[in-house]
Amino acid sequence: MPNIKSAKKRVKTTAKSRLANSSEKSAMRSAIKKVENATNKEEAIVLLNTVTKKIDKAASKGLVHKNYAARQKSRLTLKVNSL
């Protein structure tokens, strides 16, 4: 445990942001899986729009790398278009 007051505060804020980040990342991954498992094209298109937004948000916050985000969006778009 840290002894300095500011370091103690930092531990609390880090823990709080870690929870928020892991929740956001998990929601993004779940949404990606929903698109991958979609069978209906209309439903997949709607899901793709929400996933794209989540992926972009995660990339802008720094939760995932921008190349990872681009790769996922491209891959999912190709998958939806092939339905």
Q: Map tokens 């278009």 to a residue.
A: 81
CA distance 57 to 73: 12
Mean pLDDT of all residues in 47-52 = 96
Report helix, strand or coil for 41.
helix
pLDDT at 14: 96
**What CATH number belongs to 5-81?**
1.20.58.110
CA distance 80 to 59: 21
CA distance 70 to 20: 22
Mean pLDDT of all residues in 63-67 = 97
pLDDT at 1: 84
Q: Look up residue 29 and give its amino acid.
A: R
